[in-house]
């Protein structure tokens, strides 16, 4: 899940919970939920982050990712 999606989900949940109290609390809950979602996604995005064990195999880089920066060496003439 991308950082933006986590922030949006956090904002929606925060606004829903805050909306049970009042309109002002819904606004504050949305802002705090969005911040919490973005922070969670930022922690989760690191290779050795807090939530690295929870990462699915789909989020892992492909096995051939090491070849992405490979250079071609030319023979000396």
Q: Which residue has the tokens 């919970």?
A: 17
Instruction: Quick: pLDDT tens for 9-47.
Output: 989 999 999 999 998 899 999 999 999 988 888 777 665
* Structural domain count of the chain: 1
Instruction: Quick: pLDDT tens for 42-76.
Output: 777 665 555 556 655 555 555 555 555 566 677 77
Which residue range is the domain that position 31 belongs to?
1-49
Per-residue confidence (pLDDT) for residue 24, from 0 to 100: 87
Residue 36 lies in a domain: yes
Q: Is 71 left (phi over 0), alpha (psi -120 to 50) or beta?
A: beta
Per-residue confidence (pLDDT) for residue 26, from 0 to 100: 92
Per-residue confidence (pLDDT) for residue 41, from 0 to 100: 82
Residue 32 lies in a domain: yes
Neighbours of 59 (CB within 10 A): 11
Rg (Cα) of the chain, in Å, rounded? Answer: 20
């Amino acid at each position: 899940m991308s950082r933006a999606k986590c922030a949006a989900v956090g904002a929606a949940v925060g606004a829903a919970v805050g909306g049970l109290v009042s309109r002002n609390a819904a606004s504050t809950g949305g802002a705090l939920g969005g911040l919490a979602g973005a922070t969670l996604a930022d922690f989760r995005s690191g290779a050795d982050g807090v939530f690295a064990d929870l990462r699915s195999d789909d989020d892992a880089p492909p096995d051939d990712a090491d070849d992405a920066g490979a250079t071609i060496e030319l023979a000396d003439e």
